[in-house]
Amino acid sequence: AQRVTQPEKLLSVFKGAPVELKCNYSYSGSPELFWYVQYSRQRLQLLLRHISRESIKGFTADLNKGETSFHLKKPFAQEEDSAMYYCALSGWTQGGSEKLVFGKGTKLTVNP
């Protein structure tokens, strides 16, 4: 079964500190992995996806197939990074339809 686990519900760091939001997945094939972000009172938006290998707002994420992880990292957190972060997986079911599965999210708070 496809599953995305974000073990930390809440994560609090100080400004300038490194931050890592953990994401582990369970999927038998080759998944597409994403990070979505939801700032306070705003809509969800795509932060980055593993196939593009981009760095957005200083965030990077590397897909580690051996550890089935897709952790989101930033070397120096900023206060404006405070938001809810969702890891998501896109994969195909046996029936040939696609499914998108989200983790439960991690609320990141960056303190001044």
Partner 1 sequence: DSGVTQTPKHLITATGQRVTLRCSPRSGDLSVYWYQQSLDQGLQFLIQYYNGEERAKGNILERFSAQQFPDLHSELNLSSLELGDSALYFCASSVDLAGYYEQYFGPGTRLTVT
Instruction: State the minimum distance, in angstroms, from the CB of residue 14 to partner 1.
Output: 26
| List 59, 61, 105, 110, residue binding partner 1 (CB under 8 A) | 105
Is residue 56 involved in binding partner 1 (CB under 8 A)? no
* Tokens at 59, concatenated: 């965030």
Give the Cα separation of 88 and 93 in Å (integer): 15
53 or 99: CB nearest partner 1: 99
Contact 18, 76 (CB under 8 A): yes
Is residue 43 involved in binding partner 1 (CB under 8 A)? yes
* Tokens at 98, concatenated: 């696609």
Is residue 49 involved in binding partner 1 (CB under 8 A)? yes
Residue 46: strand, helix, or coil: strand
